[in-house]
Structure 1
Amino acid sequence: MGTTPTEVLAFPNIRAIVRDNGTAEVVVAGNSRVVPAGESIQDLRNNALALVVKEAQTLQRPVRVRIEDPEGHGELIVHPDQTIESVTYETRPARRTTETSETAPGKAETKSVGTVPAPEPETAPTEPAAVSSDPGKVDDGPGSPNPVSPGPTTRRALRDAGSFLAAPSTVEPATQGIRGMLNTMGFSLAPSADELREREDIRLASKHFAGTRTIAVVNQKGGSNKTPTVADLAAVFGRNGGSVVAWDNNPTTGTLGWRTEQGDHTRSALDVIAAADALLSPTARSADINAFVHHQSTDKYDVLRSDSDVDGTHEVTAEEVDILHRVVSKYYRLILMDSGNNHRSAEWNRMIDHADQLVVPTTNEEDRVEAALLTLQGLDLKSERSASLATNAVVIVSERQKGEARLSQETADKFRPYVRDVVVVPFDAALKSGQIRFGALQPATRRAWLRAAAAVARGL
């Protein structure tokens, strides 16, 4: 709107305060108004600004608001039509983890509406210093014709020369939080530490490996969240550009097929075994596998179901697991294997033989936690290779119900000394039952699964 700060009255004095602990308030002329809670800091910011908009609408004019945020502080002008202008904003140095060319180290960036930067002062040109006739000695007077001769150059092999190109160091401006909002108004603020961490997790989840990688998701106790873990990790990898299959490696009817989309057929792993020769032949095409897997339309991965025939008697052998693994390795770069609860069965143990990374899910219930530990200990004793998988495992602790954040962290802390990484996933009602769709999860849950996928990717 082009409103200058001097045109907007400073009365009433309005402050919007957003805190790290998930609370916020708007103080108008000394009267505090509680801001409705949100799922994230950004929700709190939006809810706080909505209260300020209402104040502007009541007064029927723009108002000033001083904002205090975990990432910085500044002043905004808020209009009754919900237009927001930035007057100044300064980031908190303690939260800055990167520096950009726009902001010097240790100095916050500010920007004022309606002001123009002063031009750079002009500097009079000076004559270059002349050199004396004595090599290596600079003459104070002009007119000396003899340049300084360079010293002898040490010759080196061309093969030892490094690249003369500067290493890329540009960091894209913030797109999230209040920094991202202010960047849409013309600022160029660097991303916060949280946004940088998220970008790094996305990079890891998007990584393409040379050859197929197999992730085994195991816990010998039922109800430990194995299937949601497989589905959500597959969704993160699939949405970030991977070629991903989630394989239900269960001896009997597994639940992965129940909790994911079904294609226009009912084929399962047994049908892949029967068609293995054709699928592995040199004339097979990449789309041939589509007749046997079930594509997840929004989460961009495929599901290979276990046999669901209630009258079926076929038990998958270790050799058939090998066949299935050869087939899916031909068509996919990333394989996530759901598993049954019998750690003594042939298909369970052959899955471990093919695994490059182990994921052990658990809830914070005592028996599931103990089963996760026993699973790791059993693999530690089985062989040198499985012991390596166990010590480099990622444990994922999923909250069983709302309000158990502290218990989940205590559970996670029990595993931290024994495995490579532990990630806690908050409770989400969308994971309790029905089809698992990543987009239906709360933002905090999606962020946790991205963090978990990045932790898994580091081991691949």
Structure 2
Amino acid sequence: MTEYTPDTHTDSAENPTTRRGLREHTRQWADDGGTAARELPGNDDSWVLQPGFAAEAPAVLPPEPDFQPDAAAWEQPLEQDAGNWAGAPGRDWDPREDEWNAEAPALPDYAGQPLSRAEVRDRGTSRRRASFLDTQTARIPAARGVRGLLSSVGLRMSPSAAELAERRDIRAVSQHWPGPRTISVVNGKGGANKTPTTVMLAAVFARNGGGPVLAWDNNETRGTLGWRTEQGPHDATVMDLLPNTSSLLSPSAQSALLARFVHHQTEDKFDVLRSKPDVLASEQKITMADFDALHEVASKYFRLNLIDSGNDESAERWLRMIHHTDQLVIATTTVEEHAEAGALLLEALQERGGMFARLAADAVVIVSQSDRNGTQAQVRSVARGFAPLARAVATIPYDAALRKGQIRFGSLRPATQRAWLAAAAAVAQGLTEPARTS
């Protein structure tokens, strides 16, 4: 509320007639202009301006001027329409009309309540026009099953609930995140399906979201990732890359140079950094500093790194891998020893607290049916056991294409492909947070 005090005038202080005229004029002004000017109680010389009034309040009526217009002035031609001029002939013109009789602009009604500046600003932004652009996602007709068949012949059918769920999973694994991400696939027990899990996750992310995606064998004891994937036109391993990390991290380094050290998967569109399984672990020992340099190269050239880990949870390279991990994946089968080893690892990470506990709580467990004659009851039993320990549990049916030889996503049965897509989508949900910094 703003208070205005008019200039002093002898008439306003001594002449009651002037004050009455002022009050009368105030009431007329409020009625005609839509404003709510009023006098403060007990103060005849003060004015209060209510919200919605934009002009300054007048002081007191000026004294009646001794004014006689020149008759010769009426004879001069007018350049504007005389009917719209206040001083046109035929009218009794008062010069005060220019000030007092001006039509007040229409003012918004704020219900007589004072508004803060923030409220006034909010009122202005709330009146922004609606956009002409259509923000709705285009509706794609069904492409699967009977609905898809009908759509292909011209009858546009909406997709089923199952197809919509599949599309959501595809969208999840197709995202690109701001900064590189690292996924570590772990289990302290050998043969727990870590390598097939790494290969399948890399294939799903690369086939849907595009490259560059790297599958990295971080196993110091006979890692088999190179055996289960396609070999490039060379036999380079991580030990060949290690002495070249400095040159690859230089500003002038080109991404194509990395093809000398990784093996591209022509069907599944990701790259593989192999270990060297034909030598002893003591001959390919990688320190924490070595792992940091390798991970820096991988993070520079690849948007997503999936690391297939070894079985020694005390190794420097294993511990440093956990330090750089954004999303932890526990790979296991329905074999009791594999499941127990995975659960113990999660519990150990929880007990260590800090970042280890956060990784464990946000982990995804992928349970693969390892027995051709296994039942769904076995898979569900293992999945239920992991439910309190991890963020999500995904199950994979048995598929002979995963048992031996090189793994190709296209060689899997449709049900297995769909299961891996769902598992990768669960993993992708943990990649939306900012990447971990060293």
1:4 alignment partner in structure 2: none
Q: Which amino acid aligns with 1:172?
A: I
1:421 alignment partner in structure 2: 392
- Contact in 2 for aligned 1:394/1:456 (Cα 8 Å): yes
Distance 1:359 1:151, change over 3 A: same
1:313 alignment partner in structure 2: 283
Q: For residues 419 and 362 of structure 1, what CA distance do their matches in structure 2 show?
A: 13
Q: For residues 152 and 458 of structure 1, what CA distance do their matches in structure 2 show?
A: 49
Q: For residues 177 and 208 of structure 1, what CA distance do their matches in structure 2 show?
A: 30
Q: Which amino acid aligns with 1:386?
A: F
1:326 alignment partner in structure 2: 296
Are 2:320 and 1:350 equivalent residues in the alignment?
Answer: yes
2:248 alignment partner in structure 1: 279
1:89 alignment partner in structure 2: none
- 1:34-433 alignment runs, 5 A limit: 152=108, 156-158=123-125, 161=128, 164=131, 165-240=133-208, 241-310=210-279, 313-402=283-372, 403-433=374-404
1:449 alignment partner in structure 2: 420
Alignment partner of 1:275: what SS?
A: helix
- Contact in 2 for aligned 1:218/1:338 (Cα 8 Å): yes
The Cα of 1:162 is off from its aligned counterpart by 7.5
The Cα of 1:405 is off from its aligned counterpart by 1.6
> Structure 1: which 5+ runs fail to align?
1-149
- Contact in 2 for aligned 1:206/1:242 (Cα 8 Å): no
Distance 1:215 1:151, change over 3 A: same
- Contact in 1 for aligned 2:343/2:389 (Cα 8 Å): no
Q: For residues 333 and 359 of structure 1, what CA distance do their matches in structure 2 show?
A: 18
Distance 1:153 1:209, change over 3 A: farther
Alignment partner of 2:217: what SS?
A: strand
> Structure 2: which 5+ runs fail to align?
1-105, 111-119, 432-438
How many correspondences in the alignment?
A: 311
Q: Which amino acid aligns with 2:336?
A: E
Over alpha carbons, which structure has the higher Rg? 2
Listed one character per residue, the Cα deviations across residues 30-75 of structure 1 (whole Å, up to 9, x for unaligned) are: xxxxxxxxxxxxxxxxxxxxxxxxxxxxxxxxxxxxxxxxxxxxxx
Q: For residues 314 and 187 of structure 1, what CA distance do their matches in structure 2 show?
A: 61
Alignment partner of 1:245: what SS?
A: strand
Distance 1:440 1:186, change over 3 A: same
The Cα of 1:309 is off from its aligned counterpart by 4.0
- Contact in 2 for aligned 1:294/1:303 (Cα 8 Å): yes
- Contact in 1 for aligned 2:141/2:156 (Cα 8 Å): yes
Listed one character per residue, the Cα deviations across residues 412-431 of structure 1 (whole Å, up to 9, x for unaligned) are: 01111221110000000000
2:429 alignment partner in structure 1: 458
Listed one character per residue, the Cα deviations across residues 256-307 of structure 1 (whole Å, up to 9, x for unaligned) are: 0110011111111111110011110101011111110001110000000112
Q: For residues 107 and 267 of structure 2, what CA distance do their matches in structure 1 show?
A: 66
Q: For residues 359 and 249 of structure 1, what CA distance do their matches in structure 2 show?
A: 15
Question: Which range moves more in the overlay, 416-425 or 325-334?
Answer: 416-425
Quick check: which one's helix share is greater? 2
- Contact in 1 for aligned 2:141/2:151 (Cα 8 Å): yes
Listed one character per residue, the Cα deviations across residues 386-423 of structure 1 (whole Å, up to 9, x for unaligned) are: 11000110000000123422210111011112211100
- Contact in 1 for aligned 2:207/2:268 (Cα 8 Å): yes
Q: Which amino acid aligns with 2:204?
A: V
Quick check: which one's strand share is greater? 1
Listed one character per residue, the Cα deviations across residues 294-344 of structure 1 (whole Å, up to 9, x for unaligned) are: 011100000001123426623111111101000010100000000001111
The Cα of 1:163 is off from its aligned counterpart by 5.7
The Cα of 1:351 is off from its aligned counterpart by 0.3
Q: Which amino acid aligns with 1:433?
A: K
The Cα of 1:383 is off from its aligned counterpart by 3.4
Q: Which amino acid aligns with 2:228?
A: R
Q: For residues 251 and 384 of structure 1, what CA distance do their matches in structure 2 show?
A: 27
Q: For residues 225 and 109 of structure 2, what CA distance do their matches in structure 1 show?
A: 68
The Cα of 1:159 is off from its aligned counterpart by 8.9
RMSD: 1.9
1:122 alignment partner in structure 2: none
Q: Give TM-score, length-normalised by structure 1.
A: 0.65
Listed one character per residue, the Cα deviations across residues 127-175 of structure 1 (whole Å, up to 9, x for unaligned) are: xxxxxxxxxxxxxxxxxxxxxxx99588733598486244314321111
Q: For residues 418 and 319 of structure 1, what CA distance do their matches in structure 2 show?
A: 32
Alignment partner of 2:284: what SS?
A: coil
Give the structure, 1 or 2, with the largest relative contact order (CA under 8 Å, sep 6 or more). Answer: 2
